[in-house]
Amino acid sequence: MSNDRTIALRVNGRDERATVPAHRTLLEALREIGHREVKSGCEKGDCGACAVLLDGMAVDSCLTLAWTAEGKEVTTVLGLGDLDALHPVQEAFSEGGAAQCGYCTPGIIIASKAILDENPNPSEDDIRVGLSGNLCRCTGYTKVFEAVREAAATLRGAESGR
Amino acid sequence: MNAPATDPGSLPNVRLRQVGRPLTRTDAPGKVTGRTPYAGDYVMPNMLHMRVVRADLASARLVRLDVSKARSLEGVACVLTGDDLPDRTASTDIPGQTGQKRLDTGQQILVKERVRYFGEALALIAAETRDIADHATELVEVELEPVPGVYDPIEALKPDAPIVQGTTNVVAERRIRKGDVDAGFARADLIVENTFRTPFQEHAFLEPEVGLAWVDENAVVNIRVSTQVIEHFRPIADAIGVPHNRVRIRGALVGGGFGGKEDLTVEVYLALLALRTGRPVRPEYTREDSFVGHGKRHPFVMTYRTGVTRDGRITALDVEMVADSGAYVFLSPYVILYALVAAPGPYRVDNLNVHARAVATNNMFTSAFRGFGALQACAAYEQQMDEVARTIGLDRMELRRRNFLKTGEPISTGFVPPSAIWTEECAERAWAALGDPTPAAGPLRIGRGIACYQQSYGRLTFLHDTSEAWVGVEMDGTVVVRSGVTDIGAGQASALGQIAVEVLGVTLDNVVIYNSDTAVTPLAGTTTATRALYMTGNAVKQAAEAVRARLAERAARELGVAAGDIDMAFNEVFVADHPERSMPFVELVRICGAEGIHRSELVMFRAPFTDFLDPETGQGQAHPDYAYGAHAVEVSVDVDTGEVEVLKSIAAHDVGQCINPAAVEGQIQGGAQNGQGYALSEEMLYEEGRLVTPSFSEYLMPTAMDMPKVECIVLESRSGVGPFGAKGIGEPAMTPVAPAIANAVADAIGVRVFEMPITPERVVMAMKRHDAAG
């Protein structure tokens, strides 16, 4: 396409490039360059499955144009931790049974990370509000809330040197 | 407890060391890191992108369909219309595994002349990029001439109603006639009659329809797709005109199913385009495509007439059920059969008439959804129980206690379930767990409700269901399970692994489970009907037991005891009463390998096979067995705004035997979400068959703000027909939730809303009508 532009993205601490037109969303651009860990659920900002951290803030990548992410730090769920080194949030979700079909999970884990970055000791309400943009059809959220609390406790413990 | 706990396993030395524990599921690490590839995550070189052109009227004649401009757009590889597919239809019936006779339920793959529902597919476009495919859809010129349609199943039954297809709008009809209903009503002190309405529901799985199809070097059409049913390779092959062995379905972990990926979705489209172009093709389904592209839950209109004595004994029940089948048959005949069987609920009703019909309309076609008709019946019978209790002035729990079916008693069809019936135990536990009532304040009224249920697990027994699994031990002591079963998010695959390691005495991290591929995994049947654990769990257990028996026999010689004295656990093999006499599992496996002792087994598990129910009386066996339980809730209702909030949500189910308690709780808690949305907020609004709520901002399912913490009370009768006495929890988890909420709302405001979802508008209107009536 005539208005394609090559943009420099920094994804999970690595420099990457994507050649995309102006209307391409960050979700599409990330998936095009291989970040299949970012999931597409509605492409309208209704479900939160595509959430990533953009300079530390959780955003729906389907509502973010790829060009506007240039020069910013993008973190996907895989940027938090990988199979051999799970992030405490990922570990809490995995061990607590908070992922069922798992399709909403990358977005929910990103949103959970954003909650805990903002407030290491969130209340039940803080967690609910922080996850209100992420739909899940499998878990009924109960185990998701438990996993976030569990991760919060682990992270606080790590911080205080326990 | 009124039922005996049965033998938990056929092997005397299996003491359930791993089954029944909340082990981390084998699929969990991949999912929390995003490493797990879903069907939409696969790409291939030279791949095309598919879009579907859809009708924007629900009932119309196709006057003109001009795709010439789309075809000539640069980058468009292929455009298909109904004219390109002469006489091809896709079966909408249950994928038969044993060549069952099918209903005449073909659906046109692409519209030829007549559009019967909003969104029916007119043309398929495959292009080099998604942008080009999008652009090409806009170049397709469509002229539709409206034809009078019918959008309400009750209207569709009237003599002058437009006929959707064929000669009648009644697409299926079934009856139960049991005992003497007239005599039963004559004995009644009171007769209570009510009509209940339940709505369409969208599955709303987060992963839309995704996949990738290509034709390989053997002329086999490969389809990587998000599906609950890999056995669809047969109807796909029939639909595209190739032999059955030239279609291979490679499933992936499914991003939610709930019945919405039980029918064919995009498979036939992809296969046709891959064959025509010789190139890989992937679908580009938007959320809106998903909303209009797969069947919905059947709306039901159910009239219950209950005869009851003053002391609360049900003497007769007459039930009339009408289900909206939408424009094509799909699984409607089976959905109303489930509703028919479930009609009286978990109660003893000796004098019973049930008449259930599925009726065609020009609405979206309806098909499988978690609960499958039995759930709609529960929504009616449990609200009716509360209304009966209110009418005769008896406590709701007491009325239920006086009528509960007990273990060993026959259900509606005269069949005696082989397992325990612990409805009462579950109901008492759930009701008690509600604890102290939340105090009412300001405009908030507090109400409580309970609902009990009966839900089958396992498919209809006249379908002669089977499931295969293969279990083998590698030379290094690791275990492989191979089974075609699809994993739709409940941990189906991981549960199979947990069963295998229990029997073989190894640990879950030593197992790999290969599943969901028609070419390399033995066919296990569908992940539907709460059957995966029951059927495939039994197959895996039996296969693992066969392997264990051979290994134990060899170990017995090595350790100088009888085979029956050998036990295996946590990668060690030992003499049961003398665990110090042991050898590592891996050493035993090496010996067996060196001596040519067979270390694998393929097993086919067969469900009970029966005839159809008697067509006149509906008597006979319909399912292998049934699950029972209850759900209790407390709600607040704002009498000014009509808003309902669920404050407490407590589920109590007899699951027979947990394989993985965390997974069981996950099913229960997810079912609570599905049921709460169904009861209160999820509404598919149609105007003349046109869906006007095709997004998650219009179709409102409960969010993290709406869901209470769901408390799970899990009872284990160990009496089920599944592995180790397991029953099933997939569908049961959801079935009683909505009527429990409806009963709580009625309890709070003193008036019932007879139609779900119980939206604020309906609450306010019901209270106004009640006030006006004085």
List Cβ neighbours of B158 (8 Å cut-off, separation of 6 or more).
none
Q: Which of A37, A132, A141 sits opposite B34 (nearest CB)?
A: A37
Query: Average pLDDT of chain A?
Result: 96
A139/B28 CB distance under 8 A? no
A140/B28 CB distance under 8 A? no
A102/B36 CB distance under 8 A? yes
Averaged pLDDT, B471-499: 97
Averaged pLDDT, B683-689: 95
List Cβ neighbours of B79 (8 Å cut-off, separation of 6 or more).
B67, B70, B71, B123, B124, B125, B126, B136, B140
A141/B671 CB distance under 8 A? no
Q: Which residues of B362-388 are buried (b: 16+ CB within 10 A; e: fewer)?
A: bbbbbbbbbbbbbbbbbbbbbbbbbbb
Check whether domain A88-160 has CATH 3.90.1150.200, yes or no: no
Residue B99 confidence class, pLDDT cut points 50, 70, 90: very low
Residue B13 confidence class, pLDDT cut points 50, 70, 90: very low
Q: In what order do the strands lie in the sheet with B566-569?
A: B566-569, B572-575, B578-584
Q: Which of B27, B286, B669 sits opposite A139 (nearest CB)?
A: B669
pLDDT tens-digit readout, B260-307: 999 999 999 999 999 999 999 999 999 999 999 999 999 999 999 999
* Collapsed DSSP state (helix, strand, coil) of residue B25: coil
Cα-flanking dihedrals φ and ψ of residue B675, to 5°?
-75, -35
Residue A24 confidence class, pLDDT cut points 50, 70, 90: very high
A99/B31 CB distance under 8 A? yes
Percent of chain A with pLDDT over 90: 95
pLDDT of residue B104: 58
Q: How far is CA A123 from CA A59, A108, A128, A162, B649, in A?
A: 22, 17, 9, 22, 20
pLDDT tens-digit readout, B196-214: 999 999 999 999 999 999 9
* Collapsed DSSP state (helix, strand, coil) of residue B72: helix
Q: Is B531 in contact with B522 (CB distance < 8 Å)?
A: no
Residue B558 above 90 pLDDT?
A: yes
Residue A152 above 90 pLDDT?
A: yes
* Collapsed DSSP state (helix, strand, coil) of residue B221: strand
Looking up tokens 């599905």, which residue turns up? B674
Q: Which residues of B506-541 are buried (b: 16+ CB within 10 A; e: fewer)?
A: bbbebbebebbbbeebbbbbbbbbbbbbbbbbbbbb
Mutate: best of B26, B33, B659, partner A, most A CBs <10 A: B33
d(CA B308, CA B344): 13
Task: Supply A152's token pair.
Answer: 């919060």
DSSP label at residue A68: G
Q: Which residues of A touch B488 (CB under 8 A)?
A: 101
To the nearest whole Å, the CA of A9 is away from the closest chain B CA by 19
Mutate: best of A142, A145, A146, A150, partner B, most B CBs <10 A: A142
Beta strands in chain A, from DSSP E residues, in sequence order: 5-11, 14-20, 51-54, 57-60, 73-75
| Reported ipTM | 0.98
Q: Which residues of B touch A46 (CB under 8 A)?
A: 287, 695-697
User: Domain A5-79 is classified in which CATH homologous superfamily?
Assistant: Beta-grasp domain (3.10.20.30)
Angle in degrees, 0-180, between the axes of helices B396-403 and B374-392, rounded to the nearest 10: 120
DSSP label at residue B708: P
pLDDT of residue B102: 46
Q: Is B164 in contact with B644 (CB distance < 8 Å)?
A: no
Q: Around Cβ B47, how many Cβ atoms within 10 Å?
A: 17
Name which of B636, B632, B630 is nearest B447 in CA terms: B636
Looking up tokens 């189906």, which residue turns up? B492
Cα-flanking dihedrals φ and ψ of residue B280, to 5°?
-65, 145
Residue A3 above 90 pLDDT?
A: no
Nearest-by-CA chain B residue for A133: B703
Residue A135 above 90 pLDDT?
A: yes
Query: Average pLDDT of chain B?
Result: 95
pLDDT of residue B5: 39
One DSSP character per residue, B324-343 reads EEETS-TTHHHHHHHHHHHT
B343 touches chain A (CB under 8 A): no
Cα-flanking dihedrals φ and ψ of residue B83, to 5°?
-65, -25
Mutate: best of A126, A137, A143, partner B, most B CBs <10 A: A137
Q: Is B221 in contact with B271 (CB distance < 8 Å)?
A: yes
Percent of chain B with pLDDT over 90: 94
Task: Supply A30's token pair.
Answer: 């990330």
DSSP label at residue B629: E
Q: Which residues of B touch A100 (CB under 8 A)?
A: 489-491, 666, 670
To the nearest whole Å, the CA of B354 is away from the closest chain A CA by 33
d(CA B195, CA B185): 18
Q: Which residues of B149-174 are buried (b: 16+ CB within 10 A; e: fewer)?
A: bbbbbeebeeeebbebeeeebbbbeb
Task: Supply B429's token pair.
Answer: 């536990």
B669 touches chain A (CB under 8 A): yes
B280 touches chain A (CB under 8 A): no
Q: For residues B92 and B590, which has the higher predicted lDDT (pLDDT)?
A: B590
pLDDT of residue B92: 73
B28/A97 CB distance under 8 A? yes
Averaged pLDDT, B548-553: 98
Residue A2 confidence class, pLDDT cut points 50, 70, 90: low
To the nearest whole Å, the CA of A144 is away from the closest chain B CA by 9
B697 touches chain A (CB under 8 A): yes
pTM of the prediction? 0.97
Rg of chain A over Cα atoms, rounded to whole angstroms, equals: 16
B33/A135 CB distance under 8 A? no
Residue B103 confidence class, pLDDT cut points 50, 70, 90: low
Residue window 107-136, chain B: list those with CB within 8 Å of chain A: 131
Nearest-by-CA chain B residue for A42: B287
H helices of A33-141, in order, are 77-80, 88-95, 105-118, 124-130
pLDDT of residue B711: 98
One DSSP character per residue, B535-574 reads IIIHHHHHHHHHHHHHHHHHHHHHHTS-GGGEEEETTEEE
Q: For residues B5 and B746, which has the higher predicted lDDT (pLDDT)?
A: B746
List Cβ neighbours of B150 (8 Å cut-off, separation of 6 or more).
B59, B156, B161, B162, B164, B169, B361, B362
A137/B35 CB distance under 8 A? no
Cα-based angle A115, A116, A119 (whole degrees, multiple of 5):
90
pLDDT of residue A159: 74
pLDDT of residue B10: 44
B98 touches chain A (CB under 8 A): no
Averaged pLDDT, B1-30: 69
pLDDT of residue B96: 46
For B351, counting Cβ atoms within 10 Å of its Cβ (0-12 exposed, 13-18 middle, 19+ buried), the class is: buried
Mutate: best of B206, B664, B665, B710, partner A, most A CBs <10 A: B206
pLDDT of residue B634: 98
DSSP label at residue B374: H
A103/B207 CB distance under 8 A? yes
A101/B258 CB distance under 8 A? no
B29/A106 CB distance under 8 A? no
pLDDT of residue B11: 43
d(CA B736, CA B745): 15
A-B contacts at Cβ under 8 angstroms: 176
d(CA B163, CA B150): 8
Q: Which residues of A touch B27 (CB under 8 A)?
A: 99, 102
d(CA B49, CA B54): 16
d(CA A110, CA A94): 14
pLDDT of residue A1: 47
B670 touches chain A (CB under 8 A): yes
Q: Which of A46, A94, A137 sits opposite B28 (nearest CB)?
A: A94
Q: Which of B37, B489, B704 sits opposite A100 (nearest CB)?
A: B489
Domain range annotation of chain A: 5-79, 88-160
